[in-house]
Chains A and B, each alone.
Chain A
Amino acid sequence: MSVVPDTTTKIAFTDNDTKFNTDGVTFIVNPYDELALTKGLEIAEANGGTVTVCHVGSSSSDAAIRKALSIGASEAIRIDAEPLDSQFVASQIAPIAKEYDMVITGRESIDYNGGAVCGLLGAELNWPSVNVVTEIAVADRKATIEHDIDGGREELEVNLPVVVSAQKDLCEPRIPNMKSIMQARMKPLNVVPAIEVTQQSEYHTYDLPPAKQGVKLVDASDPAALVEMLKLEKII
């Protein structure tokens, strides 16, 4: 699970564009990870079993982790380290994940958009991995999975253990209620130290897309004029 800026956040950077400006930013559970968690709970309820939430980050993530516990996870593991990149995160999660039957990640985090943790875990654990999953059903340690591919969808069958990444259509995220929020306070949140890994990448600077020059308006009565303009600029 990743903790990310709320989707309405206006992105800005500080320290000579080397750091994300967290001033006034609300941090949330990554939306795709909420789906992953909900689906995990559905599968555990149907087959017996429990769901553990795993996160790489500092104690500033604890509120979001409590939210995940209130949604229904039985326990949480926080690996106490700055999540440097997808490869760092996957290397930290892998030794924990290998004790489980299934790992569900989000399709991507909405901050770094790497979309790589699922595949990286597959490679590290030597488990099959299936990306951008829109449906999963598990029975007799076999998962039937539907996932998006370029220009379509396919249905696959795979034996557990497996690692998959959650896409939007997978389920409706579960909303915690007052009782589950109270219960979440009592659930274990285990903090473990990070293992030593080689840092594969370094984020140096950030920038924002260039601003638009200003819109050229075309009269609604004459859309053909737009076609002329687009042709003139060789856009079409």
Chain B
Amino acid sequence: MAILVFVETQDGKYKKAGLEAVSYAAQMNAGEVTALCIGEHEGLDAVAKIGASSLVVLPDMGHFDAQKVSSAISQVASNLNVDTVVISNSYAGKDIAPQIAGQLKASLATNVVSLPNAQGEVTRGVYSGKAFAQVKLNGAKKVLAITPNSFDILDNTQTAAMKEVDVTISEGGVVLKELKKVTGKIPLTEAEVVISGGRGLKGPENWNLVEDLADELNAATACSKPVSDMEWRPHSEHVGQTGITIKPNLYIAIGISGAIQHLAGVSSSKTIVVINKDPEAPFFKAADYGIVGDAFDVIPKLTEALRNN
């Protein structure tokens, strides 16, 4: 048995979600774990100490072209004869996981939040966070895309070596025209802390309250559906059933009443704090901690308290 893990990198550093994928693969206890990354990377030790016994580095392919990348990863998977490919369920991961599954004729599960159980089932998030399903993958080969912030990165030092695998980099069908990176921002799906604002903040001009609090907690910022519909904030920040489903360690909702569609996207958060001036807001029923109060009064005090801490 052998497992191949694609470790995403950003500016030459392994992304936390990528390391979670390596640790997940090691915890599967189902054979040798090979980590794979593309271009500049942090070296062998960082993946060896969490369970990888080898590292394959593919040449920089420039712009992340899903077709090119998945074809290259599939070639490595075939060459090493791996049974399982583990990928993080990021946008990039969700782009390549189905293509790799298609190329390897493997069974695919995305949104995976558990290790395989004794029956070989994995748990995946369904109904946009409102439920979970236990799924058995029938194929001899499997591709698992695992939800960020679902697994701890555990020490599990292995004797490891670099591995060379010959791959043919395909042409790729898409041409990059322009890249609009939101720099310095933590991607929502990977953030450990998320601060989210709703209609209770009254207008986009008041988002400094959210951003200042987010700065203190090194958090990503998010918003409710009405806020993105009114274009106070971009849709890419909308969490909920028709937006992004997130799973941070801490979710702080400010001025969000907690409609069922919103709760769907955030209910997997480990700890939920709700700040709302309406004591009847349904969100309090889904929260761990709450403050009944005016955001304009409470948030600056909360930010200040964190700053002084």
Q: CB within 8 Å of B: which residues of A?
A: 5, 7-11, 13, 31-32, 86-87, 90, 110-120, 122-124, 127-132, 134, 144-145, 148-159, 162, 167-169, 198-209, 212-213, 215-221, 223-224, 226-227, 229-231, 233, 235-236
Contact = CB atoms under 8 A, between A and B. Distances in A.
B301 to A, nearest CB: 4
Contacts of A202: 135-136, 138
Contact of B302 (A154, A168, A216, A227): A227
A129 B66 CA distance: 8
B289 A218 contact: yes
B303 to A, nearest CB: 9
Give chain A's interface secondary structure class.
mixed
Contact of A200 (B108, B130, B243): B108
Contacts of B96: 119
Most B CB contacts (10 A, CB to CB) among A144, A152, A162, A231 go to A152
Q: What are the 9 A-B residue pairs with the smallest beta carbon separation, nearest first?
A: A123-B102, A220-B293, A119-B98, A128-B173, A224-B305, A223-B302, A116-B98, A200-B107, A152-B181
A9 B185 CA distance: 33
A123 B99 contact: yes
A230 B98 contact: no
Interface stretch (B20-28, B32-40, B86-94, B155-163): B86-94
Given A87-B107, A200-B108, A131 B174 contact: no
A131 B121 CA distance: 27
Interface of B: 8, 10, 63-64, 66-67, 70, 90-92, 94-99, 101-103, 107-111, 119, 121, 125-139, 172-183, 185-187, 189-190, 193, 217, 228, 234-236, 238, 241-243, 245, 249-250, 260-261, 264, 267-268, 270-274, 284-294, 297-299, 301-302, 305-306, 309
B292 A235 contact: no
9 contacts: A32-B242, A119-B98, A123-B70, A123-B101, A128-B172, A149-B91, A152-B179, A223-B302, A230-B273
A187 B8 CA distance: 47
Contacts of A204: 119, 121, 133-136
A110 B126 CA distance: 8
A10 B260 contact: yes
A117 B99 CA distance: 9
A9 B290 CA distance: 26
A8 B285 contact: no
Contacts of A118: 98
A195 to B, nearest CB: 16
Contacts of B97: 116, 119
Given A7-B242, A113-B125, A207 B137 contact: no
Contacts of B125: 113
Contacts of A9: 127
A86 B267 contact: no
B226 to A, nearest CB: 13
B182 A131 contact: no
B155 to A, nearest CB: 19
A90 B107 CA distance: 13
A128 B285 CA distance: 45
A135 to B, nearest CB: 12
Contacts of B183: 151
B135 A201 contact: yes
A113 B128 contact: yes
B176 A154 contact: yes
A52 B290 CA distance: 49
Nearest to A200: B107
A31 B138 contact: no
A10 B183 CA distance: 38
A131 B66 contact: yes
A200 B137 contact: yes
A217 B279 CA distance: 10
A207 B297 contact: no
Contact of A127 (B173, B284, B292, B298): B173
Nearest to A13: B131
B298 A155 contact: no
Nearest to B8: A150
Contact of A131 (B94, B286, B290): B94
Contact of B91 (A132, A159, A217): A132
B131 A158 contact: no
B288 A213 contact: yes
A123 to B, nearest CB: 3
Contact of A11 (B131, B181, B297): B131
B131 A206 contact: yes
Contact of B290 (A32, A127, A215, A221): A215
A191 B278 CA distance: 51
Nearest to A225: B305
A217 B292 contact: yes
A125 B50 CA distance: 38
Contacts of A205: 133-134
Nearest to B228: A168
A55 to B, nearest CB: 19
Contacts of B176: 154-156
